[in-house]
Structure 1
Amino acid sequence: MRILLFTGKGGVGKTTLAAATAVRLAGRGHETLVVSTDPAHSLADAFGARLAGEPSLVDTRLSAAHVDTRGLVDSVWDELRGKLRLVLAGAGVDSLDAEELTVVPGLDELLALTEVARLARTGAWETVVVDCGPTAETLRLLALPDAIGTYLKRVFPPRSVRGMVSGVGRQGWADAVERLAEHLTDLRELLADPQVTGVRLVLTPERLVVAESRRTLAALALRDIRVDGMIANRLVPKAGMRGVLQRGGPAATWLRTRRAEQDAVLAELRVSTPLELRVVEHRAAEPVGLTALADLADELYGRSDPLACGDSRPPSLLRMRPDGDAYLLRVALPLTEQSDVDLARVADDLAVTVDGMRRLVPLPAVLRRYAVVDASVDSDGLLVRFEIPVEALS
């Protein structure tokens, strides 16, 4: 099974390209599901069909669905949350505090992702194409399994929860919390498995959009989530320019200048990343319906397989080597000179923050008694120097 997540800045056309990819996969004989987790659902508009929370057939070997996040929260979490409030109240926690403790930030987005995983594992589909929300929401979504797993461990430590629950005769709800934490771990492993999950980053050839895309690449690498391709959408079409350019005038000047700017941006992007970059020209009519989406897929993929990509396994996030009495730790991230990077030591972890996205990276055991003394950024990411603290040598 393969899972392809399509994301990008709002308005770049990721929904249409996700739908076109699903049409191509189904046309090549793959049982395919395309599902939207974007709160502003537009997948139904791309197919010109009505979609619901449960998958429905839109073509041979192709099913589609919208994830109903509000319904998931109502049906899956609210009951467990109510029981946990009873548990906390039985343990002497004030009712207002219990209400706050059982609010999990970002739960609706997390449940959308767990629903995708459920559909992927329980259905007969070989490929699942996911139309994610805009980039910022997707990055938050993909960070949630770690963040909420940590939240559950801190707020509901297994031993303390079992102690509170047993006191009020609710042992099963401690098990439910533990199962939820285990489920989040499984979800995290699914997302980080490069043999299963890949991200397709959609952009338009504009400098601001490309800058955000570069930040996204670094943020996803920080999560060990593999980006296996980029798609530049809405290039000024060269074929349609010929007649206008021959006639000249302001329209010809605008088209020539705009396409030249787009080509320059894409040339810089190709130099800065080893990822495959596919391009799609702007169309006069919006692609709606199976026939139009199939035509778009022909332009996007040609004769190639949408599942084909480059190296199937991303480089290891951490690589360590000795340097005399010190150690150098390489944190492999696609950074630029404009990247805002911050490092901090938190117990046995290294807290790495890149452009506002933070992750606690467990340090190799040998480095836990060493201190960070220096760090630099180069084309291969972060290079952090660890040395034994002076006070430890005395």
Structure 2
Amino acid sequence: MRVLLFTGKGGVGKTTLAAATGACLARRGRKTLVVSTDPAHSLSDAVGVRLSDEPSEVDSHLYGAQLGARALVDDVWDSLRRELASALSGLGVDALDAEELTVLPGVDELLSLSRVQRLADEGPWENVVVDCGPTAETLRLLALPDAAVGYLRRLSGWRSTTRVARSVDRFAAHVESLRALLTDRDTTTVRLVLTPERVVAAETRRTLTALALRGIAVDGVVVNRMMPAAGWWRGAAASWLRTRRAQQDEVVAELRQGGLTGRTLRTVEHRAVEPVGVEALLEIADELYGETNPLVGESTATTLLQTTEVDGGFRLRIGMPLDKDSEVALARVDDDLAVTVDGFRRLVALPEALRPYTLTGAESDARGLVVHLEKPE
């Protein structure tokens, strides 16, 4: 089983490229599900078939589903929420306050991701291609398993009833399995989609860093809507095309030189006609993959944490791509190291041997951050 997650800034064409990848895999005889968690609901438009929450056949070996987060109901979460509200009320918390305290932020998005995992586990698919929402929503979505685990750990600090304890444990185990799926590099990888514009490219580099912080592998980048070469054409339109294409080529060259080393970068030309339907999607797939395997990309297999002992302390390397203009902040929070890069934050659990040591400084290089930890006097 392979799971490919496609994401990118809104409007860059990620839905079309996700659908084209699924159509290509299906045409090569692999039973494939393309599922969308994007609130825009444009997957139906791309494949030319009306889709719903339940997978339906689009073409031979190709199936599609379009998830509506608000319509999803998870029995485990609902029962847990009711039990927690009841337990809090029993402790003297007002009923309305108890209800508010048991609302997990982002639960709708978490249920969407949970539904994708269930489809992957229970369906007959060899591959699942996910059309995620725009980058900001996707990063929040992919951060939710970590956030939910922290939330549930705090809840499990008090165990008012055995029934609540069982519900917390069931939901925590479910979220842990979801996190394991996302961080399993052999199963799940991300493909980032962008258009060849510097503002979009800058966001893509920040996304690479944010995903690395989560331990999620990016194995490919697709630059969509490249202008066609003007060739021997003459006139104002041809001149405009050459100028625009030259600018786009500069952006692609900068991407290749900075931050994307070790990841497959593919390009797709802009179409004059909107691609709708399986045959149009297969034309894009031919340009995108040619004779290569759509499942094979390149991912820089960097271990998130590596420690090296030095005189008087340790050096802790946090492996992640950093842009030269990235804003980085570090802080100790109990036994964790809070790492914030360009507004994206993650608590990284320090190895037990390093917990007595004090954070004294940090530096960055081409492979990420190097944190200095020294033993207190």
What is the CA deviation profile of residues 200-229 of structure 1, one whole-angstrom value per residue up to 9, with x for unaligned ones? 000011000000000000000000000000
Aligned to 2:211, which of 220, 233, 246? 220
Unaligned runs of 5+ in 1: 166-170
1:340 aligns with 327
Q: Deviations over 1:106-126 (max 9, x none)?
A: 000000000000000001101
Return the letter of the residue paired with 2:351. P
Aligned residues: 375
Partner of 1:55: 55
TM-score by length of 2: 0.96
> Residue type matched to 2:42 in 1?
S
Find the counterpart in structure 2 of residue 376 from structure 1: 363
The CA deviation string for residues 181-211 of structure 1, in whole angstroms up to 9 with x for no partner, is: 1110111011000000000000011000000
User: Would you say the 8 A contact 2:189–2:216 is kept in 1?
Assistant: yes
CA shift for structure 1 position 364: 1.7
Partner of 1:208: 199
- 8 Å contact kept, 1:8–1:134: yes
Shift of 1:94: 1.6
SS state of the match for residue 98, structure 1? helix
Tell me if 1:304 matches 2:292.
yes
Verify the 8 A CA contact 1:336 1:379 in the aligned structure 2: no
Assess if the C-alpha contact under 8 Å between 2:194 and 2:224 holds in 1: yes
Distance 2:310 2:86 in 1: 56
Query: Which residues in structure 2 correspond to 1:159-174 (within 5 Å)?
Result: 160-161=158-159, 163=160, 165=161, 171-174=162-165
CA positional deviation for 1:242: 2.6
State the shift of 1:75 in Å: 6.3
CA distance in 2, matches of 1:80, 1:330: 39
Q: Using the TM superposition, name which of 83-92 and 73-82 deviates more.
A: 73-82
- Superposed CA offset, 1:67-118 (max 9, x none): 1211114866445423332222123222232022111110000000000000
Partner of 1:93: 93
SS at match of 2:231: helix
What are the equivalent positions in structure 2 for 1:4-15 lying under 5 Å apart? 4-15=4-15
Distance 1:109 1:6 in 2: 16
Find the counterpart in structure 2 of residue 277 from structure 1.
265
**Candidates 291, 314, 329, aligned match of 2:279:** 291
Change (3 A) 1:75 1:325: closer
Residue 262 of structure 1, CA deviation: 0.4
AA at the equivalent of 2:246:
A
Distance 1:113 1:152 in 2: 18
Cα distance in 1, alignment partners of residues 234 and 242 from structure 2: 13
Partner of 1:168: none
Which range is displaced more, 94-103 or 276-285? 94-103
Q: State the AA in 1 paired with 2:63.
A: S
Distance 2:271 2:170 in 1: 48
One-letter code aligned to 2:197: E
Report the residue type matching 1:261 in the other structure: Q
SS at match of 1:140: helix
Task: Give yes or no for contact 1:23–1:290 (8 Å, CA) kept in 2.
Answer: yes
Query: Who is 2:251 aligned against?
Result: 265
Provide the TM-score with structure 1 as the length reference. 0.92
Cα distance between partner residues in 1 of 2:51 and 2:61: 16
Quick check: 1:180 aligned with 2:180? no
1:197 alignment counterpart: 188
1:254 alignment partner in structure 2: 240
Does structure 2 conserve the Cα–Cα contact (< 8 Å) formed by 1:110 and 1:141?
yes
Q: 1:157 aligns to what? A: 156
Q: Specify the code of the residue in structure 2 equivalent to 1:10.
A: G
* CA distances 1:368-388 after superposition (whole Å, capped 9, x unpaired): 111111111221111111111
In structure 2, distance between residues paired with 1:258 and 1:196: 38
Larger of the two Rg values belongs to structure: 1
Distance 2:283 2:139 in 1: 30
Structure 2: gaps of 5 or more residues:
none
Distance 2:168 2:353 in 1: 33
- Residue aligned with 1:242, SS: coil
**Residues 45-124 of structure 1: pairs in structure 2 closer than 5 A:** 45-73=45-73, 77-124=77-124
Q: Pick from 329, 332, 339 the counterpart of residue 316 of structure 2.
A: 329
For each residue in 1:117-175, what CA deviation from the matched residue of structure 2 results, as whole angstroms up to 9, or x when unmatched? 00000011010000000000000000000101111221x216x23x2x3xxxxx43431
Distance in 2 (alpha carbons) for counterparts of 1:322 and 1:84: 45
More moved, 85-94 vs 375-384: 85-94
Write the distance in 1 (CA, Å) between the matches of 2:211 and 2:74. Answer: 30
User: Contact between 2:79 and 2:167, CA under 8 Å: does it hold in 1?
Assistant: no
| 8 Å contact kept, 1:328–1:386 | yes
SS where residue 110 of structure 2 aligns?
A: helix
Aligned equivalents of 2:121, 2:248: Cα separation in 1: 40
